[in-house]
Amino acid sequence: MSTQQEKKLSIEKLDPKVRAEIDAWLTRFPEDQKQSGVLYALRLAQEQNNGWLSEELMDAVADYLDLPHIAVYEVATFYSMYDLKPVGKHKISVCVNISCKLCGSDAILDHLKKRLNIGPGETTEDGRYTVKAVECLAACSRAPALQVDDKHYYDNLTPEKIDQMLDELEKGDK
């Protein structure tokens, strides 16, 4: 099989809707600057794959954007918003950077560990939750903070707020 055929097969691993969204995003940049779409393309690929990026999907993004695979791997492994292994239905990202740490993020992680019986980088046995320790959520003035499912922010956290958040997530799953 030729390199061109392999590249075509790789690209087909991206859903046609994902490719169309990437194309629309790329119109914002000069044609020779496709690397500007890497972050967005990886996010879309991750969403397509139930919240995580396989090597196959990272290769597909690289091939679609006509970039070296390593260029995409560097981005995917640098940013904490990307996951390189399966995650739970709800991903809880707890900021552990200096402001959050000084305001009690360690206690928040301890409380999550007691409540969910998992630590950072782990997923509950039922596949419902994954807990991640992340470097910054840009919420220093409201520390400690966490983010759920890359969408919802919770700040000025206490164990009681964590319990309330988890109870709301469980109600929403029913």
Question: With 0-12 CB in 10 A as exposed, 13-18 as middle and 19+ as buried, what is 161?
Answer: middle
User: What pLDDT sits at residue 1?
Assistant: 67
| Domain boundaries of the chain, sorted by first residue | 3-78, 90-173
Report the candidate in 151, 91, 155 with the shortest Cα–Cα distance to residue 121: 91
Architecture of the structural domain at 90-173? 3-Layer(aba) Sandwich (3.40)
User: What pLDDT sits at residue 151?
Assistant: 85
User: What pLDDT sits at residue 6?
Assistant: 86
Using an 8 Å Cβ cutoff, are 125 and 163 in contact? Answer: no
Stretches in the chain below the pLDDT threshold 50 = none
> Which residues, other chains included, contact 130 with Cβ-Cβ below 8 Å and sequence gap of 6+?
83, 87, 88, 90, 91, 92, 118, 122, 123, 124
Using an 8 Å Cβ cutoff, are 124 and 116 in contact? Answer: yes
